[in-house]
Amino acid sequence: MDDPQNQDTRERVVGGYRLLRSLGRGGFGEVFLGEREDGTRAAVKLLHASWAGDEGMRRRFTAEVEQARRVSGFCVAAILDADPEAEQPWIATEFIDGPTLQASVEADGPRTGVELQRLAVSSATALAAIHAAGVVHRDLKPDNIMLAPDGPRVIDFGIARAVEATSVTASGVVGTIGYMAPEQLEGARLTEAVDVFSWAAVMVFAATGREAFPGPTQASRIARILSGGPDLEGLEGPFAEILRDCLDKDPEARPDAATLMGRLIAGPLVDGGHRNPTRGPEGNDATTVTPSPDAFTRVGVDPTRVAPPSNADAAPVDPTRAARVDPTRVAGADVPAAHAAPPRSLSQAPPPSGPPLLPERAPDTAESYRPAPHSHTPVPARGGALPPYHFAGSRFHDPGSLAEAMREDWGAAVQIFNNPAERAVLGAWIMDDLRDTTMDRALFRRDVRDANLAVASFIAQSRPDLPPTFRGRDASMEGLRALFADPRPLLTGAPLANEMALLARPELLRILDAHTGPEAGAHRRLAEDLDRAERVGTALYEELSRELEGWRSTHSTVNPALVMAFLLHPELIVQPADGGDGGVAEWIDILWRRVIAADLPDSAGYAAAVHGAMSTVQALARQRRYWEERHSQVSGTHEALEEKVLFQQRMQRAARWCKYAIVALPIGFVLKLADGGGFGEFLFGLGLLALVASLSINVTNAVMCGNAARRAQRVMELHNSRQQLPQLDSGVGRIRADLERARRITSG
């Protein structure tokens, strides 16, 4: 149940702005609608009190102010005033009277036709202006695009960074899952290309109402961004091609904002109209290129590590394979050509020309081959030679040593499994050249949705004797316990949070369980516990959303990485802080009953669910505070008005009776003159008394209840309060009923 005015009734004045109501709350601050005495309205963002004492956060808040001032005001909410040095830092920006793109799409449905093109062009123009100021936003999402009457505005530079900082040194991973580029998730250095990726993901949401990389869990969404293709179902034509280019895994392959804007305005994008989608930044037509099959699955590579091939016609190869192989050396230079294996294997096809060979790791003869422990013994090719496989500039003759090398150079291995052609080469070498029958064929014959999992599976199958690693990180049980000992990155969005999310996946843990080690089966048990805990936490959300009216519009999710931290360190299962808010504390106490009543692994899932629901709990507490305070205020006012109106009504009735009694005054006077009787004197006295009483009543009514206009206004106010009270009674009743039902749910 939403607060009808979303109002925070606490009277506050910040920088001359009276805070009228809350507009939204994030991890680092809350935004209020503020108003000056002259009527100027602004969106006033206050840094949370808990962060105000953090010097790092103060510097970040100051940077936000400086960066927002660098951007042209036509496309962002202009800064009106700010004080980053205040006890509680604040910034006042232009108030945009309109919904967010997120709220608009949820309420009115996706954009189509010219309306969609107008949104795409306007938002891309804003992005180009932001980048022209040397700023990378890094958190472009539907909630950060306001739909003003004169066009969209980009807001919230809270995690923006200057280009000159991010392109060289920044490695922090911050943003919103679902709209983050692959290099952002992997902690690589960032460029303007991350915003282009986010822009395309936002446009997919605007056009379809769903995320570009959907998934049932946070981990699955991350995996799909890193290795899967976008969901562009329902989108076609030039607009879809532009989105595909912008959602390329390789940041170097994406157009910059200026080029993007040029492509968008070059011709119709939707509802008919055709044009060449590959116009360059200077407007010259280029040949339309059909994306290669791996264009949607490649993981972005640090552009400084990849040199483009000099031969444009050469077959695509792994960019990390710096060394080229002499095309005359197929199965080994020491073996006569007549005895070389026939060219049936993809691994033996002539590679592109390039630099001379690097030193080999092993001779090309079977006699000198020594298999590593637990590796698969290859079958020699004809002539006694073993066909080599080239990886990262070196030759390998068995899967075991190759797996060890991939373990050390994980990024290059991911490139192999992300590229269908390269993966086919590796599969041919394993299955055809070495005639290995133990390796899972699915690694090479099915589409790879997550190249990281594929690499982990290849290493685990080839070298189970090696300690388990993932993306170069120790993934043994001891290593996982050390990594998940501190869950704070998961709550603050620090760079390590995304790495932890990638590790907290049951499918990965089951793969890692193939490695031999001191804790046999521990990874598999952890996977089962994680799977169960995440399910029970999600089930709690579903039950609350189904049974409680205030939870029906919530979007809380269980963070599997937090679940895993609780599973590995049960001592970390503690209630979240309530921030001194009694309403929040009551909700936490109610929900925490499930945690107390359950054992591991369920208690870990419930605990993660409670932590994940904190934003919902805080919103419900604010709503309850508003409704109860408003109910108390209106009830008190209603009682006072009712008493006052009752008094003035009594006085009016008395005055009316006195007015009637005054008639006796002239009648009594006439009778008194006529017969001088006592009855005439009685009537005369009664009329005189009524006249005096009427004058007294009118004076008292005017003094006590105001003039006639004020008394009429009071009656109208009482009427209005009578109309408000049933709605407020109902609202408060629903809130209290939700609390009671929540108690029954968590106690059952």
The annotation places the binding site for ATP at 45
Judge whether 581 counts as a catalytic residue: no
β-bridge pairing 41-47 and 145-148:
unpaired
The position carrying tokens 């599973």 is 567
Q: Are 83 and 46 in contact (CB under 8 A)?
A: no
Q: Which of 8, 139, 248, 578 is catalytic?
A: 139
The helix (run of H) or strand (run of E) holding residue 162 is: strand 161-162
C-alpha–C-alpha distance, residues 43 and 14, integer Å: 11
Angle between helical axes of 582-597 and 614-661 (0-180°, round to 10): 130
Q: Are 270 and 251 in contact (CB under 8 A)?
A: no
Show the 3-state SS of 628-658.
HHHHHHHHHHHHHHHHHHHHHHHHHHHHHHH
Strand segments, DSSP code E, in 603-736 are none
C-alpha–C-alpha distance, residues 368 and 429, integer Å: 19
The helix (run of H) or strand (run of E) holding residue 743 is: helix 708-747
For Cα atoms 453, 217, 527, give the angle at the middle one, nearest 5 degrees. Answer: 55
| Torsion 417-230-213-234 (CA) sign | negative
C-alpha–C-alpha distance, residues 375 and 406, integer Å: 14
Task: Please list the residues that pair with 268 across neighbouring strands.
Answer: none
The position carrying tokens 């990594």 is 483
| Torsion 130-133-138-139 (CA) sign | negative
550 closest CA partner among 583, 517, 508, 510: 583
Q: What is the DSSP letter of 14?
A: E
Q: Are 170 and 112 in contact (CB under 8 A)?
A: no
Torsion of CA 309, 311, 312, 318, to 10 degrees: -40
Question: What distance separates the 2 farthest-apart alpha carbons in the chain?
Answer: 158
Locate 735 and state its tokens.
Answer: 């809130």
C-alpha–C-alpha distance, residues 345 and 537, integer Å: 50
511 closest CA partner among 447, 467, 456: 456
C-alpha–C-alpha distance, residues 175 and 165, integer Å: 17
Q: Are 412 and 392 in contact (CB under 8 A)?
A: yes
Q: Are 358 and 393 in contact (CB under 8 A)?
A: yes
The helix (run of H) or strand (run of E) holding residue 79 is: strand 79-83
DSSP track, 442-473: HHHHS--S-HHHHHHHHHHHH-TTSPPEETTE
Q: What is the DSSP letter of 431?
A: I
Locate 716 and state its tokens.
Answer: 């109208």
C-alpha–C-alpha distance, residues 592 and 49, integer Å: 25
C-alpha–C-alpha distance, residues 115 and 643, integer Å: 56
110 closest CA partner among 263, 233, 213: 233
C-alpha–C-alpha distance, residues 251 and 646, integer Å: 74
C-alpha–C-alpha distance, residues 716 and 288, integer Å: 71
Torsion of CA 153, 156, 159, 164, to 10 degrees: 40
C-alpha–C-alpha distance, residues 477 and 517, integer Å: 9
576 closest CA partner among 159, 58, 566: 566
Collapsed DSSP state (helix, strand, coil) of residue 346? helix
Q: What are phi and psi of 199, to 5 degrees?
A: -60, -45
The set of catalytic residues is 139
